[in-house]
Structure 1
């Protein structure tokens, strides 16, 4: 009971984010209590995505999931697990029975946000956001993306043995997003600190440390909220080429409030910041591990767009997200009861041997068009084109200027259960 009260207190810190956010602790407790008898028909598993060692190196666990069966259940976490590509794609499509309306993390919550709605409400909210991600908008940001990519690759070339995560993978998307949101250079340090804190909400664990981290994340989110609302209040973003400026331009009926614009900015941070950092850092680790594939790419740079897709499949910067069933959900011979928490394992699905030949190998000539690195269906990630543009800009710089990528020390990997990427990777780039 004491732990439950502490949980309520920490999660209550999220309430100031807006009255639209509603946490469903009672539903979470019901799921956990019922979960112990709900696993029949599935394969009972000890696989735990919250285990730090598993989160850092999950691939043995994925291979075991693929060997053992189609539907798994972890009684300790009261969580069902889908790991086959066909099942993950089907679940992402079936928003009538298994959806995002109770959240996409282990914390149950509801809000009028794109990522937390389905059906007509989701379509309406997505249309409000779409003007920021049209081809015209993306093309207008290409120059800043290429400029930042060139500058940061210059920095890594000039500092052999430097940590490419801190020197390139972190600042690249952060500077791009700061530019797209209209954050001035003098505010970027604060913006980075608040942004990195805010996205940690996705990694909640029901432990004293996890509860403390949620409270810290809530405080960072509130600081970010105050800052962005202040920026909007000054009025200088209206008419600008920023994301928020474009949305204000299309907001002719006044339906987008400043609070909603803030949520859109946070969505962009989550969708386009750490995920892109993970993709960029993982790119360097992959080419250091597969130098023959980098040589093949340099010989045929036209493969770059397809290679980005293979990197997304191979790395899966978003390893998993949660859904909750709002009706009994059938997968093969197994019925997942209504009200259940379901982990959709993007990382495992993208390594599914029934979908990809030799899935644990990286190949620049593979065309993995069915991967789910950015989701699938109605919830396909809005920030996906931006992440692809950034990765392509960096890769074109490398292919034209660097003939070899070598690790100068071991790679350290994050232990975030959902967002996986290198946290430290010293590299040396051998220039042409």
Structure 2
């Protein structure tokens, strides 16, 4: 791995999935070279999503962004910051000018993955995955989700003061995904370690410690690839009841290769795992802090789907993702030049005071239908229905069985710049 610190990106080529991830130094230097000229018309900001304290508690920074102008530029990170909901949604729609083809992290990269493509290539790859998330498929996995929700809430009830992240928020999505993939539960511990390691690539920085961390991410990704390809080659994971079996059955482009099936599995494992863990952990924190809102749902369980949408808005498990302009892109009177790195702040957009009244307050019966917790447009998260199903299953168990959720110690939040959720959250559930 070769890296160069230019303040705007790195040049390297790695093959964690058998597909080259190419990171473009020339484009990064172009972003850097724009310098002061590049941010004329925008508001210069010191907001830094990579700062650990800001990542753990970003909401004061979001309020400052909203009160300080429509578009911001961080010269240190050579990054444009888009924080208003209308502008984030518009940018997610306009894939001709601002797209994912150079990556969705600070590190520019290219690979044949749904999240890193646009246009016809994106449509083709998304079509390959779509059969996994039909209503029929989701209905078939509802029993797995409901059974796990009951079991894991039982565990938390039986262990007052336990860390609910370890007891419920982490195992729930891991075991659901393992179940629908057909992966043995005996392998889940390895999946957790590998997926948590691989996802840290989002925080890559071209520093000695960052390069060392990047090497660990690569090792985790390679371990995942070895495991999946071995299982796929032996015919495992391709049964008629598994998600990969469904994809093979519905493939219209001929047989999917094992490499393609592996990439789909990675998207399910990493994207669906970490984000749902953050949503579930955030749920317990919110209801412990807002018992009156929890009581609203207990009194009217029909609010559960709407309350989950409000949880998504309020907690924003994915706080931000990046895009890169492939043409000059206008926001208001300001032009973001071609070749620029743009941070789309989902967390800030979901608390936009121009759209949501009292945005820093959780309101269980609010209808936050405009939120972008799962993105928007062509890149709307394809696994969103599964994440919603898991959250609704856990919340239903809670309102049926638990009168009060209380914390028995402070909440510790992750410092990942893009994926935010509790890492330690000791809770006590008072049974009805």
**TM-score interval (norm. to shorter):** over 0.9
Aligned mates of 1:270, 1:355 — CA distance in 2: 31
Distance 1:40-1:141 versus aligned 2 partners, 3 A rule: same
Partner of 2:182: 182
Assess if the C-alpha contact under 8 Å between 1:316 and 1:350 holds in 2: yes
Partner of 2:4: 4
| SS of corresponding position for 2:19 | coil
Distance 1:19-1:276 versus aligned 2 partners, 3 A rule: closer
Aligned mates of 1:5, 1:99 — CA distance in 2: 24
Assess if the C-alpha contact under 8 Å between 2:6 and 2:28 holds in 1: no
| SS of corresponding position for 2:357 | coil
Aligned mates of 1:149, 1:13 — CA distance in 2: 41
Q: CA deviation at 1:215?
A: 1.1
Q: CA deviation at 1:6?
A: 12
Partner of 1:151: 151
Assess if the C-alpha contact under 8 Å between 1:42 and 1:71 holds in 2: yes
Q: How many residues align?
A: 429
| SS of corresponding position for 1:4 | coil
Q: What pairs up with 1:260-339 in 2 under 5 angstroms?
A: 260-339=260-339
Aligned mates of 1:335, 1:252 — CA distance in 2: 42
Q: Per-residue CA shift, 1:236-287, capped at 9, x if unaligned?
A: 3333311112112223643522111111111112321010000000000000
1:110 aligns with 2:110: yes
| SS of corresponding position for 2:87 | helix
Aligned mates of 2:345, 2:127 — CA distance in 1: 27
Partner of 1:374: 374
Q: Per-residue CA shift, 1:110-152, capped at 9, x if unaligned?
A: 1121111111111111101101111111111000011111000
Partner of 2:192: 192
Partner of 2:234: 234
Partner of 1:140: 140
Aligned mates of 2:31, 2:5 — CA distance in 1: 18
Aligned mates of 2:5, 2:64 — CA distance in 1: 37
Distance 1:407-1:325 versus aligned 2 partners, 3 A rule: same
Q: CA deviation at 1:11?
A: 7.6
Partner of 1:225: 225
Assess if the C-alpha contact under 8 Å between 2:105 and 2:322 holds in 1: yes
TM-score calculated relative to the size of structure 1: 0.96
Partner of 1:75: 75
Partner of 1:244: 244
Q: Per-residue CA shift, 1:139-196, capped at 9, x if unaligned?
A: 1100001111100000000000000001000111011111122111222221221111
| SS of corresponding position for 1:37 | helix
| SS of corresponding position for 1:324 | strand
Aligned mates of 2:176, 2:25 — CA distance in 1: 37
Distance 1:36-1:363 versus aligned 2 partners, 3 A rule: same
Distance 1:51-1:5 versus aligned 2 partners, 3 A rule: closer
Q: CA deviation at 1:5?
A: 8.2
| SS of corresponding position for 2:126 | helix
Distance 1:255-1:94 versus aligned 2 partners, 3 A rule: farther
Aligned mates of 2:11, 2:140 — CA distance in 1: 39
TM-score calculated relative to the size of structure 2: 0.96
Assess if the C-alpha contact under 8 Å between 2:12 and 2:22 holds in 1: no
Assess if the C-alpha contact under 8 Å between 2:180 and 2:243 holds in 1: yes
Q: CA deviation at 1:31?
A: 1.6
Query: Which segment drifts farther, 126-135 or 201-210?
Result: 201-210
Q: CA deviation at 1:203?
A: 2.1
Q: CA deviation at 1:234?
A: 0.6
Aligned mates of 2:291, 2:11 — CA distance in 1: 46
| SS of corresponding position for 1:17 | coil
| SS of corresponding position for 2:39 | coil
Structure 1 runs not aligned, ≥5 long: none
Structure 2 runs not aligned, ≥5 long: none
Distance 1:316-1:383 versus aligned 2 partners, 3 A rule: same
| SS of corresponding position for 1:62 | helix
Q: CA deviation at 1:199?
A: 1.5
Partner of 1:129: 129
Distance 1:3-1:25 versus aligned 2 partners, 3 A rule: closer
Two-structure CA RMSD over aligned residues (Å): 1.7
| SS of corresponding position for 1:427 | strand
Assess if the C-alpha contact under 8 Å between 1:50 and 1:417 holds in 2: yes
| SS of corresponding position for 1:416 | coil
Q: Per-residue CA shift, 1:268-320, capped at 9, x if unaligned?
A: 12321010000000000000000111111100100000000000000000000
